């Protein structure tokens, strides 16, 4: 019998509900249970694929090609659960399917209403996700903050779920804020009381509270929260700001949250300590020996979440290499204004991430030229790979006007272009090359050293491809094509073993998104070797 944990959020957004849910997943796994995590997003978009990063942050891509909320990234990084298109459900998807069924005549004669039709669809989606994953425990995170109009149908469905599945099979966890008021030198429980009150109005009595706080919550205060919110004292879990997000599962386990949840489910599973996680991830994340500074050159730099998986992957590679990775976020337009030399001097590694549209491209190309000529370790991802091809074509192969057809549809030398199958696409949603594709690796290359395998699988999200017409010219000038998608002969990885007549320490760029598969205890091999090369040039 599957058990369900619903995670809601109160008071304000950005409390770390995703990390809390992922951490609950981790402590459930420490009990030998198989978990799956589902995220509900109350917006009306069908998926975040067409949203601007300023609106949404990173779009996380699953193996089966779903464009999803970035919380799924936390789920995959913290647990061994694999996410699929069933793990991210939006209001848009729910209404889309209810309305299509209505048009087909499936509800003939009936008035279609939020309760029960929309709520039934929500509950069905939870059950489908549960069945598809075969998990013992399904954790459902409800996006938004309690009190939002948009998330009401999801909360109502969560309330009904306990009625259908049975009291003992459903746990409600509420993530809330206990703010510190400086002038009073006190932490305050009132917002939490109100938020729990709001939940109870909807008919949900939380079984546990995760209290986000800057300060320690005293025993006395826990008693107060317990009394006012009608939650047992040992179910008031303190979640103080941590140095590393990877500490959170340990914080929850230390306070017995796993025991509390299992008692509710009436499950008896042996507990294993998260010793490896503590030693190999947390201790190293908090007390690294070395330090290295890496530039990430993007155009949504001021936004914390736009390159979330990339930042995490760099942190994972740092954990492995016993180094703190200081990430210098650089706006590519700044390079256009001030020049690469000026902006990038003294940095030990340069990473150019994915992106769309022409703005900032010339700055990225200038940064890549700098990395190539000055022998600075370089990692290019998706658009970053396309830019490194453009840079090489223009500056090494003297291909005038080399560009991507995305930026200049009539480019003289379209070294990056559309495949025939992409040319007549009208719908923007879900029509890129999405999800996992196999890639054959050439022996004796950086890629082969990193992956130690000749066939890998990585996730994609792009429309444009390397134009094979230019392969021979670029190859002649020294670019190595070390990864190919065999079925369509598409270039997936490029490398430069030498640049300007000297060996280059690390120059590799990939058409896919390795950042989606890195984990704190298993860094992605390309990031691992990139940070290692960066550390090496700092002298370690």
Which residues are identified as catalytic? 382, 513, 515
185-244: contacts with ligand GLN (CB under 6 A): none
Least separation, in Å, of the C-beta of 153 and ligand GLN?
A: 32
User: Closer CB to ligand GLN, residue 98 or residue 352?
Assistant: 352
How far is Cα 519 from Cα 68, in angstroms, rounded to an integer? Answer: 18
What's the token pair of residue 53? 């990063």
The answer to whether residue 95 forms part of the interface with ligand GLN (CB under 6 A) is no
455-494 burial by CB neighbour count: b if 16+ within 10 A, else e? Answer: ebebbbbbbbbbbeebbebbeeebbbbbbbbeeeebbbbb
User: Closer CB to ligand GLN, residue 389 or residue 399?
Assistant: 389
The answer to whether residue 347 forms part of the interface with ligand GLN (CB under 6 A) is no
The answer to whether residue 355 forms part of the interface with ligand GLN (CB under 6 A) is yes
How far is Cα 77 from Cα 58, in angstroms, rounded to an integer? Answer: 15
The answer to whether residue 464 forms part of the interface with ligand GLN (CB under 6 A) is yes
What's the token pair of residue 342? 């000026």
Least separation, in Å, of the C-beta of 73 and ligand GLN?
A: 15
The answer to whether residue 510 forms part of the interface with ligand GLN (CB under 6 A) is no
Coil, strand or helix at 26 = helix
What's the token pair of residue 81? 């659960």
User: Closer CB to ligand GLN, residue 248 or residue 508?
Assistant: 508
Q: Given candidates 253, 284, 394, 461, which one binds ligand GLN under the rule CB under 6 A? A: 461
Least separation, in Å, of the C-beta of 341 and ligand GLN?
A: 26
User: Closer CB to ligand GLN, residue 107 or residue 358?
Assistant: 358
Q: β-pairing, 507-510 with 236-240?
A: unpaired
The answer to whether residue 406 forms part of the interface with ligand GLN (CB under 6 A) is yes
How far is Cα 411 from Cα 409, in angstroms, rounded to an integer? Answer: 6
Beta bridge partners of 507: 378
Q: Given candidates 356, 374, 395, 438, which one binds ligand GLN under the rule CB under 6 A? A: 356
Per-position x/- string for 357-396, each x denoting binding to ligand GLN as judged by CB under 6 A, each - no binding: -------------------------xx-------------
User: Closer CB to ligand GLN, residue 32 or residue 357?
Assistant: 357
Q: Quote the longest CA-to-CA distance of the chain.
A: 77
The answer to whether residue 125 forms part of the interface with ligand GLN (CB under 6 A) is no
For residue 427, what are the CA distances in angstroms to 17, 61, 431? 33, 19, 7
In which order are the strands placed within the sheet that holds 455-462? 323-331, 290-298, 349-352, 378-381, 507-510, 490-495, 480-485, 433-441, 455-462
Least separation, in Å, of the C-beta of 407 and ligand GLN?
A: 9
What's the token pair of residue 140? 């459902």
Q: What angle do CA 342, 348, 349 make, to 5 degrees?
A: 95
Tell me 279's DSSP state: I
Least separation, in Å, of the C-beta of 7 and ligand GLN?
A: 29
Number of residues that bind ligand GLN (CB under 6 A): 10
Nearest CA to 192 out of 162, 227, 218, 150 is that of 227
Q: Which stretch binds ligand GLN (CB under 6 A): 39-47, 88-96, 305-313, 458-466?
A: 458-466
Least separation, in Å, of the C-beta of 354 and ligand GLN?
A: 3
Query: Can you give the binding site for ligand GLN, defined by CB under 6 A?
Result: 354-356, 382-383, 406, 461-464
């Amino acid at each position: 019998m599957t058990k369900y944990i619903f995670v809601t959020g109160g008071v304000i957004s950005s409390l770390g509900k995703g990390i809390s849910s992922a951490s609950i997943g981790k402590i459930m796994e420490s009990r030998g249970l198989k978990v799956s995590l589902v995220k509900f997003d109350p917006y009306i978009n069908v998926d975040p694929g067409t949203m601007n990063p300023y609106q949404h942050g990173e779009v996380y891509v699953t193996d089966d090609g779903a464009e999803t909320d970035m919380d799924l990234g936390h789920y995959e990084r913290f647990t061994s659960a694999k996410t699929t298109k069933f793990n991210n459900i939006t209001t848009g998807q729910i209404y889309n399917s209810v309305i299509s069924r209505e048009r087909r005549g499936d509800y003939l004669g009936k008035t279609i209403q939020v309760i029960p039709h929309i709520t039934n669809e929500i509950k069905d989606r939870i059950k489908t996700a549960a069945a598809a994953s075969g998990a013992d425990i399904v954790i459902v995170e409800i996006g938004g903050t309690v009190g939002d109009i948009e998330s009401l149908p999801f909360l109502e469905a969560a309330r009904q779920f306990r009625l259908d599945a049975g009291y003992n099979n459903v746990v409600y966890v509420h993530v809330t804020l206990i703010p510190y008021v400086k002038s009073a030198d006190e932490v305050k429980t009132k917002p939490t009381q109100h938020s729990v009150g709001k939940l109870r109005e909807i008919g949900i009595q939380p079984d546990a509270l995760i209290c986000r706080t800057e300060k320690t919550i005293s025993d006395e205060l826990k008693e107060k929260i317990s009394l006012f919110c009608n939650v047992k004292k040992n179910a008031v879990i303190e979640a103080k700001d941590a140095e590393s997000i990877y500490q959170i599962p340990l914080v929850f386990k230390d306070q017995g949250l796993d025991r509390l949840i299992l008692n509710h489910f009436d499950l008896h599973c042996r507990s294993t300590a998260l010793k490896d996680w503590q030693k190999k991830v947390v201790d190293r994340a908090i007390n690294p020996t070395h330090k290295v500074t890496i530039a990430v050159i993007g155009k949504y730099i001021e936004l914390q979440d736009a390159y979330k998986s990339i930042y995490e992957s760099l942190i994972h590679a740092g954990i492995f290499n016993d180094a703190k990775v200081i990430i210098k976020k650089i706006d590519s337009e700044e390079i256009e204004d001030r020049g690469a030399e000026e902006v990038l001097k003294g940095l030990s590694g340069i990473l150019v991430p994915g992106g769309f549209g022409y703005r900032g491209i010339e700055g990225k190309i200038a940064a890549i030229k700098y990395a190539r000529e000055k022998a600075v370790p370089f990692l290019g991802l998706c658009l970053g790979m396309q830019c490194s091809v453009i840079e090489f074509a223009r500056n090494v192969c003297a291909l005038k006007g080399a560009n991507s057809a995305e930026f200049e549809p009539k480019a003289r030398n379209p070294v990056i272009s559309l495949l025939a199958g992409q040319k007549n696409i009208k719908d923007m949603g879900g029509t890129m090359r999405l999800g996992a594709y196999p890639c054959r690796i050439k022996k004796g290359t950086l890629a082969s050293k990193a992956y130690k395998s000749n066939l890998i699988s990585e996730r994609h999200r792009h429309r444009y491809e390397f134009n094979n017409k230019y392969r021979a010219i670029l190859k002649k000038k020294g670019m190595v094509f070390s990864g190919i998608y065999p079925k369509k002969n598409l270039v997936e990885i490029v490398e430069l073993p030498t640049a300007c007549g000297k060996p280059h320490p690390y120059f590799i760029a990939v058409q896919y998104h390795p950042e989606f598969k890195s984990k704190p205890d298993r860094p992605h091999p390309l990031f691992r070797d990139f940070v290692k090369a960066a550390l090496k040039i700092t002298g370690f």
